[in-house]
């Protein structure tokens, strides 16, 4: 789906569901945060500290207290659709993955690298929530209906299984990404042309295993085909549906590249 197609929903949204959009952790965001392009997020300096107090909350509630996706189905001028990224959330994830990496002897004088990894962890999780909305929207377009996504949201709220599958599937999108950054051993000056790279995936995995039920169950979905993933989300089936198109959009909207073309990011 492109931005013009999504704007048709934005122009004619369903009534926002208070429980969904007025998430209690976001009530303190009183204004509409400015939108910022993905590549400019690298230029924001996120404060260090204040992150430890979130640890218990993340272990209890998961990643949604750090970042949040507002669907275009429930767009409103007061709370426009997109990915909301909290500075405190980024600081928390950064601190956790740095602590985990430090046990392996890594020491980061410059927080830039772990900050970028933390941002991508949060974005990839929320992007999958977006891709799920796109998949249901495509079913609506193919069937000429308007309530498939809303139905999914209600089922997710009322059934723990669907809620847990959804969060595991969103974390599987994080686990499948290859987190590789530049890195140098502290105190060692490498010859000019040598770039030492660091693979973060095990640290990212450990961070997600510390999250609550559902969230920490991502590994059963990482190797699963998108057909089976969509079945786990209870996407409607029917002989009239073009499932190949739905699967292809589900995959492409799960990738970071979608952020520059389609999904607004709002640092809050």
Minimum CB distance to Zn ion smaller for 6 or for 170:
170
Question: Least distance from C-beta 69 to Zn ion, angstroms?
Answer: 7
Report in angstroms how near the CB of residue 172 gets to Zn ion at its nearest. Answer: 11
For 130, counting Cβ atoms within 10 Å of its Cβ (0-12 exposed, 13-18 middle, 19+ buried), the class is: buried
CA distance 3 to 8: 9
Which residue, chain included where needed, has tokens 């990011």?
Answer: 265
Tell whether residue 204 is a contact of Zn ion (CB under 5 A).
no
Helix axes 148-158, 160-175, angle to 10 degrees: 110
Least separation in angstroms between CB 194 and Zn ion: 39
- Find the shortest distance in angstroms from Cβ 170 to Zn ion: 5
Angle between helices 148-158 and 112-143 (to 10 degrees): 120
Q: Which is nearer to Zn ion, 101 or 170 (CB)?
A: 170
Tell me the residue number closest to Zn ion, measured at CB. Answer: 170
Least CB distance to Zn ion at residue 63 (A): 6
The count of other CB atoms within 10 Å of the CB of residue 26 is: 16
Q: If binding means CB under 5 A, how many residues of this protein chain bind Zn ion?
A: 2
**Dihedral angle, C-alpha 199, 202, 203, 205, nearest 10 °:** 130
Residue closer to Zn ion by CB (options 23, 142) is 23
Q: Which span (3-11, 98-106, 160-168, 193-201) binds Zn ion, by CB under 5 A?
A: 160-168
The smaller minimum CB distance to Zn ion, of residues 170 and 198, is found at 170
User: Least distance to Zn ion from the beta carbon of 167, Å?
Assistant: 5
Q: Which is nearer to Zn ion, 153 or 170 (CB)?
A: 170
DSSP string, 49-86: SS-GGGHHHHHHH-GGGTEEEE-GGG--SSS-SEEEE-
Binding to Zn ion by CB under 5 A, coded x per residue (else -) over 166-185, reads: -x--x---------------
Report the C-alpha gap between 264 and 254 in whole angstroms: 14
User: Would you say 123 or 243 has its CB closer to Zn ion?
Assistant: 123
CA dist list (Å): 70 to 141, 172, 226, 248: 20, 20, 23, 22
- Alpha-helix residue ranges (DSSP H) falling in 49-200: 55-61, 87-102, 112-143, 148-158, 160-175
Nearer to Zn ion, 169 or 262 (CB): 169
Query: Candidates 27-35, 70-78, 95-103, 159-167 — which segment interacts with Zn ion by CB under 5 A?
Result: 159-167
User: Which parts of this chain interact with Zn ion (CB under 5 A)?
Assistant: 167, 170
């Amino acid at each position: 789906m492109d931005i013009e197609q999504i704007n048709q929903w934005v122009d004619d949204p369903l009534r926002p569901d208070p429980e969904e959009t007025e998430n209690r952790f976001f009530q303190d965001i009183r204004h509409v945060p400015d939108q910022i392009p993905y590549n400019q997020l690298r230029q924001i300096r996120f404060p260090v500290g204040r992150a430890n107090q979130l640890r218990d909350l993340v272990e209890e509630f998961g990643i949604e207290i750090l970042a949040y996706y507002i669907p275009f189905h429930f767009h409103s001028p007061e709370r426009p659709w997109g990915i909301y990224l909290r500075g405190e959330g980024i600081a928390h994830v950064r601190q956790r993955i740095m602590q985990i990496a430090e046990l392996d002897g890594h020491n980061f004088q410059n927080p830039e690298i772990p900050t970028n990894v933390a941002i991508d962890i949060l974005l990839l999780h929320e992007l999958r929530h977006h891709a799920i909305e796109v998949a249901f929207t495509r079913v609506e377009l193919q069937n000429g209906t308007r309530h498939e996504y809303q139905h999914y949201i209600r089922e997710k709220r009322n059934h723990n299984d669907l809620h847990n599958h959804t969060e595991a599937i969103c974390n599987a999108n994080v686990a499948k990404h290859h987190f590789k950054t530049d890195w140098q051993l502290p105190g060692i000056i490498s010859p000019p042309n040598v770039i030492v790279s660091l693979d973060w995936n095990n640290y990212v995995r450990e961070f997600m295993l510390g999250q609550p039920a559902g969230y920490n169950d991502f590994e059963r979905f990482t190797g699963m085909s998108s057909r089976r993933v969509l079945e786990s989300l209870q996407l409607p089936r029917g002989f009239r549906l073009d499932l190949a198109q739905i699967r292809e959009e589900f995959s492409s909207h799960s990738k970071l590249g979608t952020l520059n073309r389609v999904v607004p990011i709002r640092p809050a």
